[in-house]
Amino acid sequence: MPSKGGQRRQALEALREPGALVFYEAPHRVLETVADMAAVFGERTLVIARELTKLFESIHSVPLTEALEWLKADPNRQRGEFVLLVSGAPAGADNGDGERVLKLLLADGLPVKQAAKLASAITGVAKNALYDKALMLRG
């Protein structure tokens, strides 16, 4: 991952896909990287593997939104070489395509219900989530 925050967030945004992801990170950047991951990937699970194949090896699974707090709770958790495994997106999660398609359909003048149904069929995102998003977009 890039060391600078803006570049790192751009790289993570480019990796927003439904599959699982694996990253290697240095201890001096792990907090910033985990914070950026939480902002980009949201409600996924993070497996923090530290010091693999060494005496003080540790592996911990935590929701991505709570990972930063878990790392900060003990300074020893921030030491060593890190392998960060981000779980795949939950089924029906919107990786941005659902909202993009929904906006296009609404811009063409389709009713909210029909736009949500079509966007769901095209992207696989839950129809109810897209319907709620459409209502929010329409104000």
Q: Kindly state whether residues 48 and 111 are assigned to the same domain.
A: no
Instruction: Give the model's pLDDT for residue 24.
Output: 95
DSSP 8-state code for residue 4: S
Return the C-alpha torsion angle 122, 123, 127, 133, nearest 10.
-110
Q: Kindly state whether residues 35 and 78 are assigned to the same domain.
A: yes
> Of 89, 77, 94, 90, which is closest to residue 34 (Cα–Cα)?
77
The residue range of the domain holding 104 is 97-138
Taking the C-alpha atoms of residue 12 and residue 6, their distance in angstroms, rounded to an integer, is 10
Distance separating the N- and C-terminal Cα atoms of the chain? 38
pTM equals 0.67
Q: Kindly state whether residues 101 and 40 are assigned to the same domain.
A: no
| 91 belongs to a structural domain | no
DSSP 8-state code for residue 21: E
Provide the strand spans (E) within 1-139. 21-25, 45-50, 58-63, 82-86
CATH of the domain at 13: 3.30.950.10
Q: What domain count does the chain have?
A: 2
Can you give the pLDDT of all 139 residues of the chain as single tens digits?
Answer: 888 989 999 999 888 877 889 999 999 999 999 999 998 888 889 999 999 889 889 999 999 999 999 999 999 999 999 999 999 877 655 567 788 888 889 998 889 999 888 888 887 788 888 888 889 888 7
CB contact at 8 A, 21 and 15: yes
Q: Kindly state whether residues 9 and 77 are assigned to the same domain.
A: yes
Instruction: Give the model's pLDDT for residue 92.
Output: 57
Taking the C-alpha atoms of residue 121 and residue 50, their distance in angstroms, rounded to an integer, is 41
Q: Kindly state whether residues 17 and 71 are assigned to the same domain.
A: yes
